[in-house]
């Protein structure tokens, strides 16, 4: 079964609203989680690296005030897309690193559509 | 320039045939290399993880190789099935969980 759970799996929202996506590690503690976005038929693009208890590290070109990341516990990280616009419509995926085994597990992704 | 280059970008093969996907990297220092399979609209699923000392690792019909000297890895799929149609992503890790993603190879298996 899935070891990383993402919620919601899909969401539709109006332009200007904010959307929160959750990423949970179910069977292990994840000190590090990663957030990605993926456009159709394109590769995963790393947005940010989230470390528990500290500020996220954003990749170049990713607006930290636009994409708020919180990693408040060892099993939960959240991504909030603030003031969403149609161009933010994408497939957002998280992954979590099991520090003990070195395995990197991905969530099933969240499809965001902004109208 | 991306530190992880995958080839080919896309590949179409007939069911039952074999294929090999390539991943070349420049990430240094090197910690490990992972191959993932991503079905359309789903999250990537791990196929294998290889460390510096491992040359070959097999998982059912998938065989991954790693040459840490030349910084090359391959993923060989034997007796392909329709369900193998997916994107295959190579992820190379350096120190401090610094991960670099390849752009992926989109494989289509046709009947």
* pLDDT at A97 (0 to 100): 87
Contact A8, A21 (CB under 8 A): yes
Chain B residues 54-83 with a CB less than 8 Å from chain A: none
Closest Cβ–Cβ partner in B41, B97, B101 for A43: B101
Higher pLDDT, B73 or B93: B73
CB contact under 8 A, A44 and B44: yes
Query: pLDDT tens, B18-65?
Result: 999 999 999 988 989 999 999 988 889 999 999 988 899 998 999 999
Sign of CA dihedral B93, A47, A89, A9: positive
Q: What is the 3-state secondary structure (H, E, C) of A51-90?
A: ECCCCCEECCCCCCCCEEEEEEECCEEEEEECCCCHHHCE
Instruction: Render pLDDT for A60-114 as a digit per residue (tens, 0 to 9).
Output: 899 999 999 998 888 999 999 999 999 999 999 999 988 787 788 999 999 999 9
How many DSSP H helices and E strands does chain A contain?
Answer: 0, 11
């Amino acid at each position: 079964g899935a070891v990383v759970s993402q919620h919601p799996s899909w969401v539709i929202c109006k332009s200007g609203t904010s959307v929160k996506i959750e990423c949970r590690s179910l069977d292990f503690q994840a000190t590090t989680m990663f957030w990605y976005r993926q456009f159709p038929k394109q590769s995963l693009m790393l947005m940010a690296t989230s470390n528990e208890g500290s500020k996220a590290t954003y990749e170049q070109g990713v607006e930290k005030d636009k994409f708020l990341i919180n990693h408040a516990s060892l099993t939960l990280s959240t991504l909030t897309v603030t003031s969403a616009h149609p161009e933010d419509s994408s497939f957002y995926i998280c992954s979590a690193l099991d520090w003990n085994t070195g395995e990197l597990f991905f969530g099933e992704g969240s499809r965001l559509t902004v109208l | 320039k991306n530190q992880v280059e995958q080839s080919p970008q896309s590949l179409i093969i007939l069911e039952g045939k074999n294929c090999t996907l390539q991943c070349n990297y420049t990430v240094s220092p090197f910690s490990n290399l992972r191959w993932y399979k991503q079905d359309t609209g789903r999250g990537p699923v791990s196929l294998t993880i290889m460390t510096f000392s491992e040359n070959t690792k097999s998982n059912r019909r998938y065989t991954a190789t790693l040459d840490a000297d030349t910084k090359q890895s391959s993923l060989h799929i034997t007796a392909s099935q329709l369900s193998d149609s997916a994107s295959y992503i190579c992820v190379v890790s350096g120190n401090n969980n610094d991960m670099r993603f390849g752009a992926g190879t989109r494989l289509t298996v046709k009947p």
